């Protein structure tokens, strides 16, 4: 895995995104029939991970569904995850992120009116009355906005049920996950009658369960079993995720050494790697490869352990096989390029450049791959393209001043009109625009 309760919502850019080839492949396959059922193009929709232990999922613009790692860790099966994805796709199809401004507009109108009336009352000598008007206006505005938000959530629930029906996928997982949320509400004492149901942005889980139960049970897919191959892959992904994000003692309690299943070995390999026990981590990886010698993700794991423990030359062979087994997946190919460069053997530079350019052609939003490609260009003496790669990395990382400097440096050495020159020019324009907007906000 390459590190690159809806009670609060943080934008994805402010949190830590997790990229993993196996996880993204699983989520793409699990969501594809739902995306098609929603009338969306699977090539344009992504399901990605945010490293956050809370049980949450959201869309924040575009066609990206963000799942918190806590949601995957708490899900009992892939069908529960599909239920969550179906709901979030309902927000995308309904244009709820764009339309949220409508709810804000109504709420703002009420707030402004209360400010005018409250100020008038205060000016007329009715201080307490004026303050009361202001407070009532704020409460009314919040109620209007929350009502709008809850209406969108209910709409997404029904849309998600429609997608599951069209895709022929049971809604059992959806109901099971709502029951998990209901248990959290009980734990945190969120009352069903709080503020007439407008205390939160979502309908209470009990209401959602009641609305959806009859709908799902009447569906022909209600008793349809989960695809066993998809479920087996989910158990692997969940285990490696827990091993990656949890403290090693937590992982080892959940997956003790007596458990020799593939998911348990996967979890322990990441736990031991994270805990700086490379021999145990490699032992678990080798045990996994005894199960499936050509599994590309097990090979990726072994290569990663070797690479990150100072053995890049030994990591090259398993990473080459892993890349070949995944049609040169961008993340895995990027790790292979890193291993080739980390050997500090000049004879590997040409292969590293080919591998990294191939990786970035498939996945341009990989800052570390741009960094390694820049290192390759610098070692080969191509300083203009090294600067362009650095500009790409800084642009993806949100460092606009550095992106601007490096893109201008690249343009100074690149031939005008070439693709690389035009790309550097684009980064200059984007970075300047972002810096100008930031400057205006600070005024």
Supply the pLDDT for residue 141. 39
Tokens found for residue 96: 């709820």
What gap in Å lies between CA 302 and CA 152, rounded to an integer?
45
CA dihedral defined by 327, 333, 339, 344, rounded to 10 degrees?
A: 110
Alpha helix ranges (H) inside 188-227: 205-217
Closest listed residue to residue 227, CA positions, set 36, 71, 77: 77
Closest CA to 294 of 328, 333, 329, 324: 324
- The pLDDT score that the predictor gives to residue 83 is 95
Cα separation, 308 vs 320, in Å, equals 16
**Are the CB atoms for 73 and 55 separated by under 8 Å?**
no
Distance CA(339)–CA(308), nearest Å, equals: 9
Residues of the chain with pLDDT under 70: 1-15, 94-151, 185-205, 443
Enter the DSSP assignment of 19: B
Note whether 160 and 83 are within 8 A (CB). Answer: yes
Which contacts of 430-434 are long-range, i.e. CB under 8 A and separated by 24 or more positions?
Answer: 430/395, 430/403, 431/395, 431/400, 431/401, 431/403, 431/404, 431/407, 432/404, 434/400
Helices (H), 326-418: 330-342, 349-362, 367-379, 383-397, 400-413
- Enter the tokens of residue 85: 């994805």
pLDDT value at residue 151? 67
pLDDT attached to residue 143: 44
Q: Give the per-residue pLDDT at 356.
A: 96
Q: Is 385 exposed, middle or buried (0-12, 13-18, 19+ CB in 10 A)?
A: buried
- Residue 64 dihedral angles phi and psi, to the nearest 5°: -115, 125
What's the pLDDT score for residue 188?
60
């Amino acid at each position: 895995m390459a590190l690159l309760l809806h009670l609060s919502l943080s934008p994805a850019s402010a949190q830590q995104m997790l990229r993993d080839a196996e996880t993204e492949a699983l989520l793409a396959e699990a969501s594809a029939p739902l995306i098609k059922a929603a009338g969306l193009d699977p090539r344009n929709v992504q399901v990605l991970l945010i490293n956050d232990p809370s049980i949450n999922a959201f869309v924040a613009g575009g066609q990206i569904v963000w799942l918190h790692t806590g949601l995957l860790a708490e899900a009992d099966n892939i069908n529960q995850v599909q239920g969550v994805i179906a709901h979030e796709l309902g927000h995308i199809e309904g244009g709820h992120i764009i339309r949220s401004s409508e709810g804000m507009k109504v709420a703002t109108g009420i707030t402004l009116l209360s400010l005018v009336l409250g100020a008038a009352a205060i000016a007329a000598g009715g201080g307490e009355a004026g303050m009361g008007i202001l407070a009532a206006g704020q409460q009314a505005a919040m109620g209007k906005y929350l009502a709008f938000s809850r209406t969108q959530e209910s709409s997404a629930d029904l849309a998600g049920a429609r997608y599951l029906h069209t895709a022929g996928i049971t809604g059992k997982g959806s109901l099971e996950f709502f029951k998990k949320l209901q248990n959290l509400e009980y734990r945190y004492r969120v009352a069903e009658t709080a503020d007439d149901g407008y205390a939160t942005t979502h309908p209470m889980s009990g209401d959602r369960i009641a609305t959806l139960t009859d709908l799902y049970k009447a569906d022909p897919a209600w008793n349809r079993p989960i695809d066993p191959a998809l479920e087996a892959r989910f158990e692997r992904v969940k285990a490696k995720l827990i091993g990656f994000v949890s403290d090693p003692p937590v992982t080892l309690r959940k997956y003790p050494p007596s458990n020799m299943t593939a998911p348990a070995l996967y979890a322990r390999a990441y736990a031991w790697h994270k805990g700086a026990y490379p021999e145990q981590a490699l032992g678990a990886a080798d045990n996994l490869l005894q199960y499936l010698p050509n599994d590309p993700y097990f090979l990726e794991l072994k290569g990663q352990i070797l690479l990150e423990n100072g053995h890049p030359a030994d990591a090259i062979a398993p990473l080459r096989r892993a890349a070949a087994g995944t049609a040169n997946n961008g993340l895995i190919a990027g790790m292979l390029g890193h291993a080739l460069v980390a050997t500090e053997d000049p004879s590997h530079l040409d292969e590293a450049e080919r591998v990294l350019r191939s990786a970035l052609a498939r996945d341009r939003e990989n800052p570390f791959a741009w960094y390694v490609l820049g290192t390759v260009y610098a070692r080969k003496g191509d300083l203009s393209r090294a600067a362009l790669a650095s500009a790409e990395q800084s642009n993806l990382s949100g460092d606009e001043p550095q992106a601007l400097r490096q893109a201008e440096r690249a343009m100074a050495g690149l031939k005008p009109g070439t693709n690389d020159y035009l790309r550097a020019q684009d980064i200059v324009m984007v970075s300047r625009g972002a810096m100008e907007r930031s400057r205006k906000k600070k005024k």
